[in-house]
Amino acid sequence: MNLSLMLLLLFLMTALIIVLAVKIMIDKKDFRKLESQAEIKNLKLKEQHGKIKELEDDLKSKLKKARNIHQRMLPDKLAEPADYFISDYYQPAEYIGGDYYNVFKIDHGALDSFFDQYLLYFFDVSGHGIDSTLLSIFVNDSIENYFKLRHSPGEKISTSKLMNYIDQRYQNEGFPDDYLVCLFIAVLDKKKSTLNYSSGGFQYPIYKLDQEEQIKEINIGGLPISAALGALPDSREEQTLNFEKNNTLMLSTDGLLEQSNGQQQYFQQLQGILKKYKFLPAPFLKDLIRSDFYKFTNDSPGKDDITFLLVERPAGEIINCIFDQENNNAEAAEIKEFLDQNLWSEHPLLQTFKDIITDLLKNPEFKLKIKALNKQQLLMFSLENLNDKTGWDSILNYYPDLISIAEKDLNRSQNGEADISFNKKEIYFSHTASNNRMYLMLIKEDDLN
Partner 1 sequence: MLKESLKLLVENNKAVLKFEGEVIFDNSNQLKEEAKQMLSKNEGVNKLVIDLANVSYLDSSGVGLILSLFKFMRNKKGTLAVAAANEKIKRVFEVTKLQEIIPVYAGVEEAMEEEPV
Is 99 one of the binding residues for partner 1 (CB under 8 A)?
no
d(CA 123, CA 224): 10
Q: Pick from 78, 165, 195, 201: which binds partner 1 (CB under 8 A)?
A: 201
d(CA 10, CA 19): 14
Closest contact distance (angstroms) between CB of 259 and partner 1 is 11
Comparison of 115 and 202: residue with beta carbon closer to partner 1: 202
Is 312 one of the binding residues for partner 1 (CB under 8 A)?
no
In order of 183, 251, 258, the CA distances from 302 in angstroms are 20, 18, 10
Q: Pick from 258, 324, 334, 359: which binds partner 1 (CB under 8 A)?
A: 258
**Across the strands, what pairs with 69?**
none
d(CA 358, CA 352): 10
Closest contact distance (angstroms) between CB of 413 and partner 1 is 26
Sign of CA dihedral 247, 253, 255, 258: positive
Are 265 and 258 in contact by the 8 Å Cβ rule? The answer is: yes
Is 124 one of the binding residues for partner 1 (CB under 8 A)?
yes
Closest contact distance (angstroms) between CB of 221 and partner 1 is 4
What residue spans of 74-158 are helical by DSSP H?
Answer: 130-145
3 state SS for 140-204: HHHHHHHHHHHCCCCCCCCHHHHHHHHHHHHHHHCCCCCCEEEEEEEEEECCCCEEEEEEECCCC
Q: Which of the stretches 78-86, 119-127, 376-384, 411-419 binds partner 1 when contact is defined by CB under 8 A?
A: 119-127
Q: Which of the stretches 62-70, 218-226, 319-327, 349-357 binds partner 1 when contact is defined by CB under 8 A?
A: 218-226
Residue 301 host element (H or E)? none
Is 352 one of the binding residues for partner 1 (CB under 8 A)?
no
Are 101 and 307 in contact by the 8 Å Cβ rule? The answer is: yes
d(CA 425, CA 338): 21
Is 221 one of the binding residues for partner 1 (CB under 8 A)?
yes
Q: Which of the stretches 76-84, 196-204, 380-388, 397-405 binds partner 1 when contact is defined by CB under 8 A?
A: 196-204
Name the percent of the chain in helix, strand, coil, to the closest 5. 40, 25, 35
Q: Pick from 84, 179, 279, 428: which binds partner 1 (CB under 8 A)?
A: 179
Q: Pick from 190, 192, 276, 303: which binds partner 1 (CB under 8 A)?
A: 303
Q: Pick from 108, 128, 290, 313: which binds partner 1 (CB under 8 A)?
A: 128
Q: Pick from 27, 35, 178, 234: which binds partner 1 (CB under 8 A)?
A: 178
Is 227 one of the binding residues for partner 1 (CB under 8 A)?
yes
Is 391 one of the binding residues for partner 1 (CB under 8 A)?
no
Residues that bind partner 1 (CB under 8 A): 124, 126-128, 176-180, 182, 200-203, 219, 221-224, 226-229, 235, 254, 258, 303-304
